[in-house]
Chain A
Amino acid sequence: MSSLLEISNLKLDIGAIPILRDIDLKLEQGKVLGIIGESGSGKSMTALSIMGLAPRGAHLGGSVAYYGENLLQKSEAEMCVMRGRDFGMIFQEPMTALDPLQTIGTQVAGTLLAHGSISRRDASIEADRALERSGLPAEHFPRDRFPHELSGGQRQRVVIAMAIVMRPRLLIADEPTTALDVTTQATILNLLRRLVDDEGMGLMFVTHDLALVAGLASDIAVMRRGEIVEQGPTREIFGRLGHPYTRTLFAASSHVPVRYPAAAGKPVLEVEGLVRDYRLPPRHLFGRPGSFRAVDQVSFTIRRGENVGLVGESGSGKSTLARAIMALDPPQAGRIAVLGEAHDIEGASTQTRRKLQIVFQDPYGSFDPRQRVDILVSEPFYLLGKDAPRGKERQERVARALREVGLAPEDARKYIHEFSGGQRQRIAIARALIIEPALIILDEAVSALDVSIRAQILDLLANLSSRLGISFLFISHDLSVVRAITDRVLVMKAGKIVEQGRTEDVFRNPQQVYTRELIAATPNLERALAGG
Chain B
Amino acid sequence: MSEPMLTAAALPRGTLLSAAIRSPSFIAGLLITLVFLGLALTSFFWTPYPYAAQDIPNKLQGLNAEHWFGTDQYGRDVFSMILAGARTSIAVALIAVGVGVGIGVPLGLTAAAQRGNLFDEIIMRGNDLVFAFPALLIAILITAIFGPSATNAVIAIGIFNIPVFARLSRAAALTLWTREFILAARVAGKGKARISLEHILPNILNTLLVQVTIQFSLGILAEAALAYVGLGAQPPTPSWGKMLADSQTLIGLAPHMAVIPGLCIVFTVMGLNLLGDGLSDIFDPRLRRSRT
Chain A positions near chain B (C-beta within 8 angstroms): 39-40, 44-45, 326, 328, 350, 353, 356-358, 360-362, 364-370, 379-383, 411, 413-415, 417-421, 423, 428, 431
Contact = CB atoms under 8 A, between A and B. Distances in A.
A40 B5 contact: yes
Contacts of A423: 8
Contacts of B189: 350, 353, 380, 382-383
A361 to B, nearest CB: 8
Contacts of A353: 187, 189
A411 B190 CA distance: 24
A506 B257 CA distance: 87
Contacts of B4: 40
Given A45-B1, A420-B5, A420-B6, A367 B11 contact: no
B187 A357 contact: yes
Nearest to A420: B5
Interface in B183-233: 183-190, 194, 199, 202-203
Contacts of B125: none
Contact of B184 (A379, A381, A421): A379
Size range of the interface on B?
20 to 34
Contacts of B186: 328
A350 B7 CA distance: 37
Contacts of B5: 40, 420
Contact of B180 (A44, A365, A415): A365
A414 B5 CA distance: 15
Interface string B157-192: 000000000000000000000011101111111100
A433 to B, nearest CB: 13
Nearest to A354: B189
Interface string B1-43: 1111111100101000000000000000000000000000000
B6 A418 contact: yes
B286 interface: yes
Contacts of A421: 2
B285 interface: yes
Given A382-B190, A414-B8, A414-B13, A44 B1 contact: yes
B181 A418 contact: no
A365 B181 contact: yes
Given A368-B203, A382-B190, A419 B8 contact: yes
Contact of A328 (B11, B183, B190, B286): B183
A417 B285 contact: yes
21 contacts: A40-B2, A360-B184, A361-B180, A365-B179, A365-B181, A366-B180, A368-B181, A368-B202, A369-B203, A369-B284, A370-B199, A370-B202, A370-B284, A379-B185, A379-B188, A380-B188, A382-B188, A415-B13, A415-B286, A419-B8, A420-B7
B180 A418 contact: no
Contact of A417 (B6, B183, B194, B202): B6
Contact of B181 (A357, A367, A415): A367
A328 B189 CA distance: 10
